[in-house]
Chain A
Amino acid sequence: MSRRERAVDALVVGAGPAGLAAAAELAAGGAGEVEVLDHAPGPGGLPLHLTHRGFGPRRSPLGGPAYVRPLVRAALEAGAALRPRVLATGSPAPGTVDVTHPGGLERITARAVVLATGARERPRGARLIPGTRPEGVLTAGELLRSVRLHHRPAGRRAVVAGTGPGALAAVRALREAGADVVALVTGHPEAPLLPPRLRVPVLTSAAVAEVTGADGLSGVLVTGPGAAVRRLDCDTLVLTGEGVPECELARLAGAALDPATRGPAVDTALRTSLAGVFAAGDVLRGGGDAPGAAAEGRHAARSALRHLAGGGRPAGLLRLDAVAPLEWITPGLLPVPGEPPPRGRFTLSVSRRVDGPVLLAEQDGRPLGRWPLPHTALPGRPLHLYGMPFAAADPLGGPVRVRIGRTSFPAGPSRG
């Protein structure tokens, strides 16, 4: 098999916000030859296909393409090479990546690799929703691309599962395409606050339990709350909100996975278990937002620059274990000696609502700290823990267990 062998200094896989930001930082920081691969026809990652105004500054959010344009420009100006239509297909050794592109096959070896391969929304099969297999069931990502970029019709009556930003973007796109949104279905007990323009019926504590229809979707059965079962006639079902790390390449390279996030396990410097291989963005936990991904990309790049300059691996690693109802904490490993996480904070996720939440950490039965949170903890909303909260952990001790509890009085202004 004829593979062209090439070497670069730093290789970034994925040209989304995380990969672009990493490339700009690497090139500007003197990494040498920096290359970014993406199998899509152009750089930008997911936001390139998401035209809704939800990106960047909260007060004046941008459409996805407008949001990523400066990231693309910054990477190019810093001297990184952006290579579209290049798919990374394997990694025979850490630091080596096999690719396919219209010009042929290559084996690229790099002194530092940043994996920024993003996430996908969990599709119907993986959600184990029973029933028939008609056309018309799709994820928000596919819907938005299909409607906005390929100008395809979206059906007439749609049901949307989920209530996060993806669901709202889906409602907007469906409406624009002339579809009637019959209902939002959410497992949460409360309806989300919908902007007035997006008012649609919301079924809470409910779930799509079955799909019906032979060739095309004819409807869905929704269960809940409680024992209620109802049938909603629809020709489109949009599934949103459950993200899965796109970590095939990390696994092929042999990187250890974090059992809680199912993304590559990383420490606060975003080092994976493989020397010289870093990971950033949605691949770490299957979701997030674009600015957060970009910040992680820069953070990983700074670690990669230290690695390129001869910096060593940490002397040890402490594991952070999230205890239910916490689902995960990222980064999930603490290097010894400690280093700050991206944006100076850890991100956590909770599987059910907790009012007046407080985070608690302990190691080998010894309390390490107690941190009340300012807002109610809700599923699907990231929680943040700032600073170097685990500094008191014993570097030779066992894993640090992180729990969520309730303060006896509501958190808020009274917090000392």
Chain B
Amino acid sequence: MSVTRTGALPGTLHDVAVVGAGVVGTAIARELARHRLTVALLDAADDVGTGTSKANTAILHTGFDATPGTLEARLVREGHRRLSAYAAECGIPLEGVGALLVAWDEEQRAALPRLAAKAAAGGHREPRLIGPEALRRAEPHLAPGALAALEVPGESVICPWTTTLAYATQAVRAGTGLHLRCLVTGVTDRGDHHELATGRGPLRARYLVNAAGLHADTLDALLGHRDFTVAPRRGQLLVHDGAARPLVRHILLPVPTARSKGVLIAPTVHGKVLLGPTAEDVDDRRATGSTAEGIEALRAAGRRILPALGEEEVTAVYAGLRAATEHPDYRIRCHRDQRYAAVGSIRSTGLSASLAIAAYVAEALGDAGLDLGPARDLPPVVMPNIGEAAPRPYQRGDLIAADPAYGTVLCACERVTEGEIRDALHSTVPPATLAGLRRRTRARAGRCQGFSCGPAVRAAFDAYRGTRPGPGAAEAGER
């Protein structure tokens, strides 16, 4: 069990190397860890889940709107089922709030029955039409003028950060070597194995999985393929302070029409409200900045849907890049002769489908000759709860009585305690930066953004960094 960020990589011959530790790559590593394989998981960044996996809309989709018959439709549907169960087992924050596709004009209203029929064709029979009165009862703060809605019960919101971390944690505990700050720059076929050139020296593996997200085509090209080209599509999002949370109960989805895609408003499991995303084609795969036009467009769209949202403070603006390609479906290819699988074109549903993609890829590798051996159930992990639906440490007298550090709130806006910061730094995959600490604990993710707690949180980060857990279990930490 190891996580490294510096030094040479292990010289042993691995069964599989997975490049990319986003939600997809970590899910694949976890799936492979169920089989007694030696796996190395590599990422260029200093943490897991720092690519598109950290900057999305955090919805666990049912797949009701996917085109029936596509691989995406199948894997999202299966991924939803798997991840719903997995989240319950691991304590990943998830709220089954359901979605409403709200129609604001006749064209949109006319589209609703068609969407319901398409969903039914894909096996989703739950969506149902509701009228304006029922809609108003369901969402009292909606702007006047909503005509009808399609209600989709299974759509959920989930914590994308905890999901990726849970996969990585389980994989690492089961023996996967997680190597960070490890950019893969070359691949050489050595007959029975690949030799990867990385910023930290070579790594050898018999099989190779490309889960490099936005850079999957670049890696694919290193193996001689031009199967797809990533054309990043940026999505900007605004996060509103928790004070806005009572304004919305469901995920409010736009009705897609020929003329516009529209934006969504969704609660988050962290008690905030998201507004977005935009959809802009960009050239630069690092263009994760927000723009004045994007922010303005989102604010205007948000006010049209939920006028009171415009009065609330924004806590953060961020943008993620969808790894779109020329293909309208997922592009998962296994090259048997090269002992290589590429996972491409996972555009805007990769979080939802992650566990199903992982199972699909493992099976494909098996078909390609990798001896998977029998699968075992991994020992369950329980992740620290950073969601609002279950009691957090600051709300638990039992924990505080056992360990006063859980009653010492350092980040007041987000109610993050010293105990949780300590536990994060003592966890299986500890953070390397304050941003990493934020994704694990929510420290500094609130409305003051560090105005009041910033220096104290940093001091705790520095103090516990590199220390080891003392005697006695960290009750609310990862188990």
Say whether A and B bind each other: yes
* A contact residues vs B (CB 8 Å cutoff): 1-3, 39, 85, 87, 89, 100-105, 120-126, 128, 130-133, 135, 138-139, 141-142, 145-146, 149-150, 152, 209-212, 214, 244, 246, 248, 251, 262
State whether B289 touches A130 (Cβ < 8 A): yes
B331 to chain A, nearest CB (A): 28
B314–chain A nearest beta-carbon distance, Å: 5
Rounded to whole Å, the gap between the CB of B421 and the closest CB of chain A is 14
Contact with A along B296-322 (1 / 0, CB 8 A): 000100000000000101111110000
Enumerate B447-479 residues with CB–CB distance to A below 8 Å: 447-452, 454-455, 458-459
Flag if B455 contacts A142 (CB, 8 Å).
yes
Distance of A85 Cα from B407 Cα, bound (Å): 9
Minimum CB–CB distance from A172 to chain B (whole Å) comes to: 18
How far, in whole Å, are A399 and B408 apart by their CA atoms in the complex?
A: 46
Cβ contacts B226-253/A at 8 Å (1 or 0 each)? 0000000000000100110000000000
B449 CB contacts on chain A under 8 angstroms:
123-126, 139
CB closest chain-B residue, reference A140: B451
Give the Cβ gap from A61 to chain B, nearest Cβ, in Å: 23
Q: How far is the CB of B242 from chain A (nearest CB, A)?
A: 8
| Residues of chain B in range 399-429 having any CB-CB distance to chain A below 8 Å | 400-401, 404-405, 407-409, 412-413, 415
- From known contacts A130-B294, A130-B317, infer whether A100 and B451 are also in contact, taking CB-CB under 8 Å: no
Contacts of B434 in A (CB 8 A): 135
Question: What are 14 of the A-B contact pairs (CB < 8 Å)?
Answer: A2-B398, A87-B394, A128-B299, A130-B291, A130-B317, A131-B289, A139-B451, A141-B451, A142-B454, A142-B455, A146-B454, A150-B459, A248-B242, A248-B413
B348 to chain A, nearest CB (A): 21
With A and B bound together, what is the CA distance between A343 and B231 in angstroms? Answer: 63
| Contact flag A123-B451 (CB < 8 Å), given A128-B295, A130-B292, A214-B286 | yes
Does B328 reach chain A (CB closer than 8 Å)? no
C-alpha gap A142/B411 in the complex (Å): 13
Given contact pairs A87-B394, A87-B412, A123-B448, enumerate 19 new A-B contacts (beta carbons under 8 Å).
A85-B408, A85-B409, A89-B394, A89-B395, A100-B409, A100-B415, A103-B404, A104-B400, A125-B314, A125-B449, A126-B447, A130-B294, A133-B318, A142-B450, A145-B454, A150-B455, A152-B458, A209-B292, A246-B448
Given contacts A87-B409, A103-B407, contact A128 B294 (CB under 8 A): no
The interface residues of chain A lying within 8 Å CB-to-CB of B7 are: none
For residue B299, which residues in chain A have a CB less than 8 angstroms away from its CB?
Answer: 128
A123 touches B290 (CB 8 A): no
Cβ of B451 and Cβ of A120 under 8 Å apart? yes
CA distance A248 to B395 in the complex (A): 17
Closest chain A residue, CB of each to CB of B417: A100
Evaluate contact between A121 and B451: CB separation under 8 angstroms. yes
CA distance A297 to B112 in the complex (A): 56
> Cα distance A244–B449 when bound, in Å?
13
B397 at interface by CB-CB < 8 Å? yes
Say how far B461's CB is from chain A's closest CB, in angstroms: 12
Contact yes or no, B243 A132, CB < 8 A: no
Residue of A nearest to B445 (CB): A125
Contact with A along B17-39 (1 / 0, CB 8 A): 00000000000000000000000
In the complex, the chain A residue whose C-beta lies closest to that of B398 is A2
- Name the residue in B288, B409, B459 with the highest tally of chain A Cβ atoms < 10 Å from its Cβ: B409
* B327 located at the interface, meaning its Cβ lies under 8 Å from any Cβ of chain A in the complex: no
Q: Which residues of A contact B401 (CB under 8 A)?
A: 104
In whole angstroms, how far apart are the Cα atoms of A87 and B458 in the complex?
A: 19
The one of A128, A135, A214, A246 that contacts B314, using a Cβ cutoff of 8 Å: A128
A251 to B413, alpha carbons, bound, how many Å?
Answer: 14
When chains A and B are docked, how far (Å) is the Cα of A122 from the Cα of B292?
18
Complexed CA–CA distance, A193 and B409 (Å): 41
Bound-state CA distance A100–B398 (Å) is 12
Cα-based distance from A103 to B406 in the complex (angstroms): 10
Q: Which of A85, A133, A138, A212 has the most CB of B within 10 A?
A: A133
A120, B409: Cβ atoms closer than 8 Å = no
Q: Give chain A residues whose Cβ lies under 8 Å from the Cβ of B413.
A: 248
Inter-chain contact A138/B394, CB cutoff 8 Å: no
Which of B290, B295, B404, B450 lies in contact with A139, CB distance below 8 A? B450
Interface pair B314/A100, CB less than 8 Å apart: no
**Is residue B396 contacting chain A, with contact meaning CB distance below 8 A?**
yes
- Asked if B11 is an interface residue, CB under 8 A from chain A, the answer is no
Contact of B243 among A3, A131, A248 (CB under 8 A): A248
B290 touches which of A102, A120, A122, A131 (Cβ 8 Å):
A131
Q: With both chains docked as a complex, state the minimum distance between the C-beta of B72 and any C-beta of chain A, in angstroms.
A: 30
B391 at the interface (CB under 8 A from A): yes
Question: Across the interface, which residues of A come within 8 angstroms of B318, CB to CB?
Answer: 133
Check if B451 sits within 8 Å of A142, measured CB to CB. yes
The answer to whether residues A120 and B289 also contact, given A87-B394, A102-B404 and a CB cut-off of 8 A, is no
Known: A101-B407, A105-B395, A142-B450. A152 touches B455 (CB 8 A): yes
- CB-CB < 8 A to B316: which residues of A? 125, 133
Q: Which residue of B lies closest to A131 (CB)?
A: B289
The 8 closest A-B pairs by CB, nearest first: A123-B449, A102-B404, A2-B397, A125-B316, A102-B407, A142-B454, A132-B289, A130-B290
Say whether B314 contacts A126, CB under 8 Å.
yes
CA distance A139 to B449 in the complex (A): 9
Q: Which B residues are CB-close (under 8 A) to A246?
A: 448
Structural contact, A141 and B239, CB atoms closer than 8 A: no
A102-B408 in contact given A89-B415, A125-B314, A125-B317 (Cβ < 8 Å): yes
A177 to chain B, nearest CB (A): 13
Tell me the bound Cα distance from A301 to B398 in angstroms. 36
State how many angstroms separate the Cβ of B456 from the closest Cβ of chain A. Answer: 8
Residues from chain B with a CB closer than 8 A to the CB of A142 are 450-452, 454-455
CA A414 to CA B320, docked complex, whole Å? 61
Specify which chain B residues have a CB less than 8 angstroms from the CB of A100 in the assembled complex: 394-395, 400, 407, 409, 415
Least CB distance from B413 to A in Å reads: 8
Most buried by B among A142, A251, A262: A142
Chain A residue numbers with a CB within 8 Å of B450 are 123, 138-139, 142
Q: Which residue of A lies closest to B393 (CB)?
A: A100
Residues of B within 8 A of A102 (CB): 400, 404-405, 407-408
Find chain A residues with CB under 8 A from B288 CB: 132-133
Report the separation of the CA atoms of residues A210 and B295 in the bound assembly, to the nearest whole angstrom: 12
Q: A122 CA to B450 CA in the complex, in Å?
A: 11
